[in-house]
């Protein structure tokens, strides 16, 4: 058991334990194995098996050289196995330990994500999940990113995760999270709850790379609450196969002039079913958001959602979803952009486009001497090349490198 039980949450979770999610294929939890979280361990990165490290690297988590990281956290299945924080003012530890250390942390549990949202959030609570706690103290700025890895090793297991990220007033936090699996074709289920609390004037960038496998089902549940002048930028990349993934991370810009940005790069290979999007509620005056996704299918299905709600005057939001269907393998892209304005003075817009690569563009590149394959690859690379505003240059380069490596597998 990782931390003391809050009867109120337990009660709500029990009531929701069979509650189907409103979106995505329903998963029979009983067909997987549940296990409680073990006590957090402290295994040196050097003692982690080379093969595991290699898999983690595929999701952007580097363990051989920690000098470019402000902290590192690794959870294998349901047990945190390593955490370090190497910069003053940046805290990285297991959620269970943080709850022991800080009594006030209870107040943050299940505030950005509802415990009874569906049976998956309920399972995370009822299984008393551990996860990572990352916090930047007031005014502190992480020089290097903090990295976290959620690693699913055991077959048929449900991995329960509960992460809490707090950026105190005026702080800056850059996080890279990589999710990976140990074995190529073993079934598994990842349930990951992440709650972000971004205080006044704080900035968080969160870059997540998913590197699952064709038999794994994934149901992340993410919520962020942004105070005045807070900034949240989420970059999400999934380019490798997954059986099914359904998530709908949401950000509530409650403070004045808060800004949330979501960039998603989605690739569905044959057999993959990805249903994801971003939801932003603009409740604070002058708050802003931009939700951008690039979706490519090479045979799988992508439902690309987006929802922006403007509830205060002078808020501004833009949704952009572009989809490319490559080849003729039955790939589907279903873009569902939604806007809701409930007061005069909101400025909300969206654009969505789904299509194939324009032949005119391919031929233009071919007229420069590129073969058809090279031209297509260059256009696809360009399509995925979203200019990410506000991400530190090194991190941007790392993310681009990860994308390029996965592209190599596409062609």
Residues binding another protein (CB under 8 A)? 358, 360-361, 363-372, 374-375, 378-379, 381-386
Q: How far is CA 238 from each of CA 10, 31, 277, 296, 358, rounded to the nearest angstrom?
A: 32, 25, 12, 10, 24
Work out how close the CB of 314 gets to another protein at its nearest, in angstroms, rounded to a whole number.
28
- The β-bridge partners of 130 are 161
Smallest distance from another protein to CB 321, Å: 14
CB of 45 to another protein, least distance (A): 35
Q: How far is the CB of 325 from another protein (least distance, A)?
A: 16
> 135 in helix, strand or coil?
strand
Q: In this structure, what token pair is assigned to residue 317?
A: 């939001």
Taking the C-alpha atoms of residue 245 and residue 240, their distance in angstroms, rounded to an integer, is 12
Nearer to another protein, 81 or 335 (CB): 335
Q: How far apart are CA 74 and CA 92, in angstroms?
A: 10
Termini Cα distance of the chain: 46
* Distance (Å, whole) CA 401 – CA 394: 10
d(CA 269, CA 302): 10
Distance of closest approach, residue 364 Cβ to another protein, in angstroms: 5
Do the Cβ atoms of 377 and 404 come closer than 8 Å?
no
**Minimum CB separation from another protein for residue 15, in Å?**
47
Instruction: Work out how close the CB of 306 gets to another protein at its nearest, in angstroms, rounded to a whole number.
Output: 19
Name the minimum Å distance from CB 370 to another protein: 6
Q: Which two tokens stand for residue 50?
A: 């080379």
Least spacing, CB of residue 390 vs another protein, in Å: 17
Taken in order 66, 69, 70, 71, the sign of the CA dihedral is negative
Smallest separation, CB 318 to another protein (Å): 17
Complex with another protein: residue 37 or 322, whichever CB lies closer: 322
Beta carbon nearer to another protein, 303 or 386: 386
Within 8 A by CB and 6+ apart from 232, the residues are 196, 198, 203, 204, 206, 224, 226, 251, 258, 259, 260, 261
- Asked if 122 and 19 touch (Cβ cutoff 8 Å), the reply is yes
Nearer to another protein, 7 or 369 (CB): 369
- 364/411 with CB nearer another protein: 364
Please give the helix or strand (H or E) that residue 96 lies within, else none: helix 95-101
Element housing 14 (H / E): helix 7-15
Residue 228 or 320 with smaller CB distance to another protein: 320
> Which residues, at least 6 apart from 16, have a Cβ–Cβ distance to it below 8 Å?
115, 116, 117, 118, 119, 121, 122
Q: Which of 41, 244, 204, 28 is nearest to 130 (CA)?
A: 41
Distance between CA 128 and CA 18 in Å, rounded?
A: 17
- Comparing CB distances to another protein, the nearer of 34 and 396 is 396
Q: How far from the centroid of its chain's Cα atoms is residue 282's Cα?
A: 20
């Amino acid at each position: 058991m990782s931390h003391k039980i809050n009867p109120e949450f337990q009660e709500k979770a029990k009531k929701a334990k069979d509650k189907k999610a409103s979106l995505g294929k329903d998963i029979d939890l009983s067909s997987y194995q549940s296990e409680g979280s073990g006590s957090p361990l402290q295994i040196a990165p050097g003692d982690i098996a080379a093969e595991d490290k290699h898999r983690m690297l595929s999701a952007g988590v580097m363990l051989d050289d920690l000098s470019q990281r402000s902290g590192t956290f690794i959870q294998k299945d349901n047990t945190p196995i390593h955490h370090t924080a190497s910069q003053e003012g940046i805290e990285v530890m297991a959620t269970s330990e943080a709850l022991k250390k800080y009594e006030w942390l209870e107040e943050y549990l299940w505030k950005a994500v509802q415990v009874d949202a569906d049976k998956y959030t309920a399972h995370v609570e009822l299984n008393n999940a551990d996860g990572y706690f990352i916090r930047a103290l007031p005014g502190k700025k992480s020089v290097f990113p903090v990295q976290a890895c959620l690693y699913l090793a055991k077959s048929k297991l449900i991995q329960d995760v509960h992460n809490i990220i707090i950026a105190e007033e005026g702080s800056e936090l850059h996080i890279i999270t990589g999710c990976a699996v140990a074995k190529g074709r073993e079934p598994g289920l990842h349930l990951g709850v992440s709650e972000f609390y971004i205080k006044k004037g704080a900035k968080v960038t969160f870059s997540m790379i998913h590197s699952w496998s064709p038999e794994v089902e994934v149901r992340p549940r993410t919520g962020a609450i942004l105070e005045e002048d807070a900034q949240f930028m989420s970059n999400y990349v999934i380019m490798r196969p997954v059986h099914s993934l359904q998530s709908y991370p949401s950000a509530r810009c409650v403070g004045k002039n808060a800004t949330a940005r979501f960039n998603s790069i989605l690739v569905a290979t044959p057999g993959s079913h990805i249903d994801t999007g971003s939801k932003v509620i603009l409740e604070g005056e002058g708050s802003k958001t931009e939700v951008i996704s690039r979706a490519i299918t090479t045979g799988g299905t992508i439902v690309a959602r987006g929802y922006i709600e403007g509830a205060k005057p002078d808020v501004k939001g833009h949704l952009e979803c572009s989809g490319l269907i490559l080849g003729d393998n039955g790939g589907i892209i279903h873009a569902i952009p939604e806007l809701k304005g409930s007061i005069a003075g909101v400025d909300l817009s969206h654009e969505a486009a789904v299509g194939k690569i324009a032949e005119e563009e391919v031929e233009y590149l071919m007229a420069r001497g590129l073969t058809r394959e090279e031209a297509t690859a260059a256009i696809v690379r360009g399509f995925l090349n979203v200019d990410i505003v506000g991400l530190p240059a090194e991190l941007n380069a790392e993310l681009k490198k990860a994308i390029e490596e996965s592209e190599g597998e596409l062609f």
